[in-house]
């Protein structure tokens, strides 16, 4: 019985995490642009477009996952974003740069990049599990349609 509700619950939870992460970024685009610039990984002309579009991508993919619309694409996109975020955090940890993460807030105070990176590991594991299960379910559905 629990197994039946696990996939939908994780799908909704994963989507909600990204929607919650986007809220402050949408309300404070200038502050989020400063955080993106502080990572020093993008050329300055790309900072504003990334800061303006990234939170909306998180919202749309999160909503798609929650309502189970284009779940395969949404979970792949959110996992890809999460890997890019983690790579950016890891890159700056290795460089010894500790700036505000910008993950859930545009506040300049935070727990540090290493802590944010470690926090994202379980989230990535959930995302990878979801991707595996959603892709597996899609393959089963295609197989059953061909069999009928």
110 — phi, psi (to 5°)? -165, -175
Q: Domain count for the chain, please give it.
A: 1
Whose tokens are 């929650």? That residue is 66
The least confident of 8-12, 48-52, 97-101, 144-148 is 144-148
Range of the domain at 75: 2-147
Within 2-112, residue ranges assigned H as helices are 2-27, 29-38, 44-66, 71-95
Rounded mean pLDDT, 34-59: 96
Residue 1: the pLDDT is 59
pLDDT band at 2 (very low <50, low <70, confident <90, very high): low
Instruction: Round to whole Å and give the CA distance between 67 and 65.
Output: 6
- Asked if 141 and 126 touch (Cβ cutoff 8 Å), the reply is no
Residue 101: the pLDDT is 87
pTM of the model: 0.88
Tell whether the model's pLDDT for residue 139 goes beyond 80.
no
């Amino acid at each position: 019985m629990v197994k039946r509700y696990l996939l939908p619950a994780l799908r909704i939870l994963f989507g909600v995490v990204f929607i919650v992460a986007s809220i402050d970024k949408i309300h404070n685009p200038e502050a989020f642009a400063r955080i993106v610039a502080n990572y020093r990984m993008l050329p300055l002309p790309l900072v504003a477009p990334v800061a303006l579009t990234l939170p909306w991508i998180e919202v749309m993919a999160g909503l798609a996952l929650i309502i189970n619309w284009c779940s395969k694409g949404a979970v792949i996109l959110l996992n890809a974003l999460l890997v890019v975020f983690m790579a950016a955090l890891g890159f700056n940890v290795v460089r010894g740069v500790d700036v505000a993460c910008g993950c859930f807030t545009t506040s300049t105070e935070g727990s540090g990049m290493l802590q944010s990176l470690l926090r994202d590991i379980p989230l990535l594991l959930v995302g990878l599990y979801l991707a595996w299960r959603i892709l597996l379910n899609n393959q089963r559905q295609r197989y059953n349609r061909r069999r009928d």
